[in-house]
Amino acid sequence: MVAQGESGDVDECIREIKDALPGHVREARITDVPFDSRYSDFRITF
């Protein structure tokens, strides 16, 4: 998953996903990278 935004918002997003899918999220890694303008809105893709 790529999540871009304020660190508190990203942390909350991960928390909400873990809460919604208990036992299914085995690991979450956060890596700070430069802002990418390709991501301007919210969407989920596979």
Q: For the residues 8-29, what does the mean pLDDT come to?
A: 91
Instruction: Enter the pTM of the model.
Output: 0.68
Residue 12: inside a domain: yes
Residue 41: inside a domain: no
Identify the pLDDT of residue 16: 93
Residue 45: inside a domain: no
Q: For the residues 6-30, what does the mean pLDDT come to?
A: 91
Q: Is the pLDDT of residue 3 over 70?
A: yes
Q: Which domain holds residue 29?
A: 1-33
Q: Which residue has the tokens 């085995």?
A: 26
Identify the pLDDT of residue 37: 87
Residue 16: inside a domain: yes
> Mean pLDDT across the chain, nearest whole number?
86
Which tokens hold the place of 5? Answer: 């935004």
Q: Is the pLDDT of residue 45 over 70?
A: no
